[in-house]
Amino acid sequence: MSKENGELKTSYNVPNLERGLLVIELLANYKQGLTLAEIIEALDISKSSAFRIVSTLIFKNYLQKNETTKKITLSRKLLTLGISAMNEQSIVELSIDVMRALRDELKESVMLGVLIDNKGAILEQVSSSYPVKLYVEQGTHFYLHSSVGGKSILAFLPEEEQNAILRSMSLKRLTANTIITKKDFREELEGVKRNGYAIDNGEDIQGIHCIGAPVFDEYGFPVAALWITAPHGRLPHDEFDAKGKIIAQYALEISSKLGYLKSE
């Protein structure tokens, strides 16, 4: 039996695919990235083979290269695949009790979302205690520039990754309050980072307000966002700050479950 398995492995393995996976596994251990020369040295593969493999992975958006430092790192696309696998088994399971507790305190619908490529997606929700509530199906996509989910995560991404996403974004006007210039949006993200929470002032749907905060993994990377959503009459401007701080604390509770240690 083991001999047959060994023969199957010998017959069906694809050397360049194996080397590509080795590159990915190697870079997963180097958050700041490695140069092509460092990858070649670490894996003991030929320069031409390494160049072809890395170039293909960059072309397919699994890796990214900083042209200034020449460092190669895992891309958001690859990180998202890992996060997506983790979401079903980990983030949602670890978040649901916190989401229910937040709903019980503030009475509003609570959402949990992540980035997938250059859009956001709803992972889970807990419905409001009020008769009138906003319901969104799991898997629904949302714009990054008009949502607290997008703002919460984007504001805390590494600068290079944030800039790459911002360059590719089109800030479509959805309501009279939607931010439509990148200059204003960058200023908005700076405010989110200062305050620790984001707001949607009827920017995605007229008359609907949202407040959210980022969820971090053990490395301090923003892997998700937690937020509440409500009609503007139940979530007025003068309550944004107080409720933003409450939501940030609940988001931190989820982050702690994922292994995040907040620095003082």
Asked whether residue 109 falls in the same domain as residue 58, the answer is: no
Q: How far is CA 22 from CA 17, 40, 53, in A?
A: 9, 11, 10
Asked whether residue 120 falls in the same domain as residue 103, the answer is: yes
* Domain boundary pick from 53, 74, 95: 74
pTM to 2 decimal places: 0.69
pLDDT of the chain, 264 residues: tens digit per residue:
444 444 444 555 677 888 899 999 898 888 789 999 999 999 988 999 999 999 999 988 889 888 889 999 987 666 556 555 554 457 888 999 999 999 999 999 999 999 887 889 998 999 999 998 888 887 888 999 999 999 999 999 999 889 999 998 999 999 999 999 999 999 999 999 999 999 999 999 999 999 999 999 888 999 999 999 999 999 999 999 999 999 999 999 999 998 898 765
**pLDDT, tens digit (0-9, with 9 covering 90-100), for 132-152:** 888 888 788 899 999 999 999
Asked whether residue 200 falls in the same domain as residue 172, the answer is: yes
- Does residue 173 sit within a domain? yes
- Does residue 209 sit within a domain? yes
Q: How far apart are CA 23 and CA 253, in angstroms?
A: 34
Domain count, the chain: 2
Burial 220-243 (b: 16+ CB within 10 A, else e): ebbbbbbbbbbbeebbeeeebeeb
* Domain boundary pick from 57, 74, 91: 74
* Domain boundary pick from 74, 95, 125: 74
Asked whether residue 23 falls in the same domain as residue 81, the answer is: no
**pLDDT, tens digit (0-9, with 9 covering 90-100), for 200-221:** 999 999 999 999 999 998 889 9
Asked whether residue 112 falls in the same domain as residue 57, the answer is: no
Asked whether residue 51 falls in the same domain as residue 147, the answer is: no
The answer for residues whose C-beta is within 8 angstroms of residue 127's C-beta and 6 or more apart is: 103, 109, 133, 135
Q: How far apart are CA 14 and CA 10, in angstroms?
A: 9
Asked whether residue 217 falls in the same domain as residue 234, the answer is: yes
- Does residue 264 sit within a domain? no
- Does residue 94 sit within a domain? yes
| Side-chain half-sphere CA neighbours of 31 within 13 A | 5
Asked whether residue 209 falls in the same domain as residue 241, the answer is: yes
For the chain, what percentages of helix, strand and coil (3-state, to nearest 5) are there? 50, 20, 35
